[in-house]
Chain A
């Protein structure tokens, strides 16, 4: 038996099909992944992502430590509640994990992936040597993501005490309310919030959300939603052997101010030179408008060389297949080996759907 979130029984009650996810028993769907996906694009869905790891970083050197630890710069978080997406690199410039860091009253709150928890905690501990920081994992916190065009409206009905502040939140902004933290962040390409709060309060909120017509959404739809939104999945689209520059994460690297040192910086500068000479591959979007499904691991042939699909699926919103693929820079044409047949696909920017609508050209 795997680990359970505080909503395990609620998932079973909602008809979930449970699967193992990095040692956790998690809902893959509650009947139909496509229906759940569509629910988030057209109305509102709730995801239990309490298996993700919350780590609070406080102490005198918290800011200094995170500025050294992360490729993005927490100095950009000008006030409490601000959020930042960042890669955490190794010294070779590969991605140990991707994460969200929030500035909070006591320092910073970092949310990292579940499957990478142990190595992330070890890395945080290793890099923190010499810094005056307290690194405090918070397994007692639940995380619910409520996303979709009606998500904020429904949440405000259920949480009238927080409604005004939720409505005022800008994207990538959050606020603390006692032991609760509520932020406009997510992994779907729709409006919505993530709530981080004591897990013993999670069943009550879950039940209220469902009673208000918010539908439970499993990890299956979470994956197709994030793929349509062109968001990377750690361990698939990037890992410790991949430079963030080859994973469409260039915008998340804070080169300024130039005097800031961070883990992996010199390796990243070398990767940048390689990129300038065309020697570093790029992560692009692929679109297959005919029948068939692009899948992770399928090999890709472009006019500039070979590549590989890192994430691929059927897009329930677009009704055809889409993928992320790592291919040689400046490739213009592309064919994918689908079960032995080379099939022409289109190369697009890796962002397919936002707010329920197609966004690539």
Chain B
């Protein structure tokens, strides 16, 4: 797999986290995940203000193939969701690491980042699947 941004942390369930300069985090799904799901037709996002624990269901992606649960890679509070995905869910297919982000959150435990993988380890993980 090519071009995985190296500032991301990946969960084994294919979500990514980018820690922003202000300490908040942005969450999305990987290129590998969007490719496996196929054309995405609906994204169900969490409510801003809601609290979520790491590895819990936080969103649902409906593609032409199947409905898939998305698990939050980190614990914290949802601050913003990507409204673009309501009308243009295909943005996740075309730009999984940039315009196709799912939500932003505050982090309650930075140490959870240690449970996630870097780009190289994630790339190996996808090949092993």
Known: A34-B39, A292-B42. Contact between A220 and B60, CB under 8 A?
no
Q: Are B67 and A295 in contact (CB under 8 A)?
A: yes
Closest chain B CB from A134 CB (angstroms): 42
- Chain A residue with Cβ nearest B94: A32
- Residues of B with C-beta under 8 A to A224: 64
CB < 8 Å: which of B38, B41, B93 contacts A293?
B41
Q: Which A residue's beta carbon lies closest to that of B44? A: A291
B38 touches A33 (CB 8 A): yes
Interface residue tally for chain B (C-beta within 8 Å): 13
Q: Which residues of A contact B42 (CB under 8 A)?
A: 291-293, 314
- Per the bound structure, the CA–CA distance linking A32 and B40 in Å amounts to 10
Complex Cα gap A307–B88 (Å): 33
**Is A313 at the interface (CB under 8 A from chain B)?**
yes
Q: Which residues of B contact A339 (CB under 8 A)?
A: 60, 67
Contact (Cβ within 8 A) A293 B67:
yes
Report how far A295 CA is from B67 CA in the complex, Å.
9
A34 touches B66 (CB 8 A): no
Chain A interfacial residues counted at CB < 8 A: 15
Query: How long is the Cα–Cα vector from A32 to B38 in the complex, in angstroms?
Result: 7
Is A29 in the interface zone, CB < 8 Å from B? yes
Question: 1/0 contact trace for B30-52 toward A, CB 8 Å?
Answer: 00000000110110100000000
Check A314–B62 contact: CB distance below 8 A. Answer: yes
* CB pair A29 B38 closer than 8 Å: yes
Per-residue interface assignment for chain A, residues 5 to 48, with 1 indicating a CB less than 8 Å from any chain B CB and 0 otherwise: 00000000000000000000000110011100000000000000
A121 to B44, CA, bound (A): 46
Q: Does B65 contact A (CB under 8 A)?
A: yes
Q: With the chains together, A339 CA to B38 CA distance in Å?
A: 20
Closest-by-CB residue of B relative to A320 is B41
- How distant is the Cα of A314 from the Cα of B66 in the complex, in angstroms? 10
Bound CA–CA A85/B42 (angstroms): 36
- Asked if A314 and B64 make an inter-chain contact with CB atoms under 8 angstroms apart, the answer reads yes
A35 to chain B, nearest CB (A): 8
Counting chain A CB atoms within 10 Å of each CB, which of B42, B60, B66 scores highest? B42
Query: Is B64 a contact partner of A220 (Cβ separation < 8 A)?
Result: yes
| Candidate in B38, B60, B90 with the most chain A CB atoms within 10 angstroms | B38
Return chain A residues, CB-CB under 8 Å to B90: 34
Interchain nearest-CB distance for B93 vs A (Å): 8
Q: How far is the CB of A15 from chain B (nearest CB, A)?
A: 12
Contacts of A291 in B (CB 8 A): 42, 44
Q: Are A34 and B64 in contact (CB under 8 A)?
A: yes
* Given A32-B39, A34-B39: A220 touches B62 (CB 8 Å cut-off): no
CA distance A295 to B93 in the complex (A): 21
B94 to A: closest C-beta gap in Å? 10
Q: Which residues of A contact B60 (CB under 8 A)?
A: 339
Q: Tell me whether A220 and B41 are in contact (CB under 8 A).
A: no
Q: How far is the CA of A293 from the CA of B60 in the complex (A)?
A: 11
Q: For the complex of A and B, list the 8 residue pairs with the smallest distance between their C-beta atoms, beginning with the closest.
A: A314-B41, A34-B39, A293-B62, A33-B64, A33-B39, A291-B42, A32-B39, A33-B38
Other than the given A34-B39, A313-B64, A339-B67, 8 more pairs (CB < 8 A) read A34-B64, A34-B90, A220-B64, A220-B65, A292-B42, A292-B62, A293-B67, A314-B42
**28 A-B pairs whose Cβ atoms sit less than 8 Å apart in the complex:** A28-B38, A29-B38, A32-B39, A32-B93, A33-B38, A33-B39, A33-B64, A34-B39, A34-B41, A34-B64, A34-B90, A220-B38, A220-B64, A220-B65, A224-B64, A291-B42, A291-B44, A292-B62, A293-B62, A293-B67, A295-B67, A313-B64, A314-B41, A314-B62, A314-B64, A316-B64, A339-B60, A339-B67
